[in-house]
Amino acid sequence: MSSSRGRLLIVVCAGVYAAGALVSACSTSKSSAPPAPQAQAQVQPPAAALWGDMAPIVSVKELMRDFIDPASDYIFDSVATVVEKGKVIERQPRTDEDWDRIRAGAVMLAEGAYLLKVPRPFAPPGDENNSTGPDPEELSPAQIRAKLEKDPVLWNAKIEALRNVGREVLEIVKKRDVNELWDASDNLDQACENCHLEYWYPGEKAFLNKLDRKLVELYGGRSSKALGMTVK
């Protein structure tokens, strides 16, 4: 009898313990429930910038000379018609290494163009471009900055035009289409020259407009565009 009562007592105690544990678990579950989405949004810290602010090392003029121009040459030099010793030679990419070089130039252009969005001096200290004397050929760094600040949308549009050529060439490399490289080279020349005519030597832009008017007078519609000197 005492043995049966002992087993009964153990069963009862075990049941009470299990019930208490269940109540405790429910209570803990309720108290640790995640906060409402709105509360979560309030306590989350703002996302930090991945790499922080970009700090320029060189001026726009140096960036163009040492990065953008060399990248452009990979594309400009990829196709050409050359006459050597009376023979016409068609230069075009023929090997994997040739196409790799063009792709490198396209990547440098597509990615590097956005470095022009990083605020930086337009020329090294003491370099005023060819902007002095009567009828200067080039704008000074201060004049270039004034144009940018007056119309930053135009500056960004010129950057996008350059970047788009880089993206265009990347697609051409995938297809290895030599014919399209000629068009891309022309597009790159226009993107570069249109920006230079706006921010570097705008005097030539006025000259080309004057040339257009003269050509129209002489030839009735023929303009500098027919000579590959498009102004936008």
More confident: 230 or 76: 76
pLDDT in tens, 21-33: 434 444 444 445 5
Q: What is the CATH number of domain 60-115+138-200?
A: 1.20.120
More confident: 231 or 211: 211
The predicted pLDDT at position 30 comes to 44
Average pLDDT over residues 11-15: 42
- Residue boundaries of the structural domains of the chain: 60-115+138-200
The predicted pLDDT at position 116 comes to 96
More confident: 14 or 94: 94
Average pLDDT over residues 208-220: 68
Answer yes or no: is pLDDT of 48 > 80.
Answer: no
The predicted pLDDT at position 12 comes to 39
Average pLDDT over residues 60-70: 97
Q: What is the mean pLDDT of the chain?
A: 80
More confident: 210 or 39: 210
* pTM score over 0.75: no
Short-list 56, 66, 71, 163, CA closest to 118: 56
The predicted pLDDT at position 219 comes to 76
Confidence category of residue 11, pLDDT binned at 50, 70, 90 = very low
The predicted pLDDT at position 230 comes to 53
The predicted pLDDT at position 36 comes to 54
Short-list 31, 52, 35, 51, CA closest to 43: 35
Tokens, residue 65: 């000379």
More confident: 117 or 19: 117
85: left (phi over 0), alpha (psi -120 to 50) or beta: left
Tell me the backbone φ, ψ of residue 94, rounded to 5 degrees: -130, -20
Average pLDDT over residues 115-144: 94
pLDDT in tens, 148-207: 999 999 999 999 999 999 999 999 999 999 999 999 999 999 999 999 999 998 887 665
Answer yes or no: is pLDDT of 227 > 90.
Answer: no
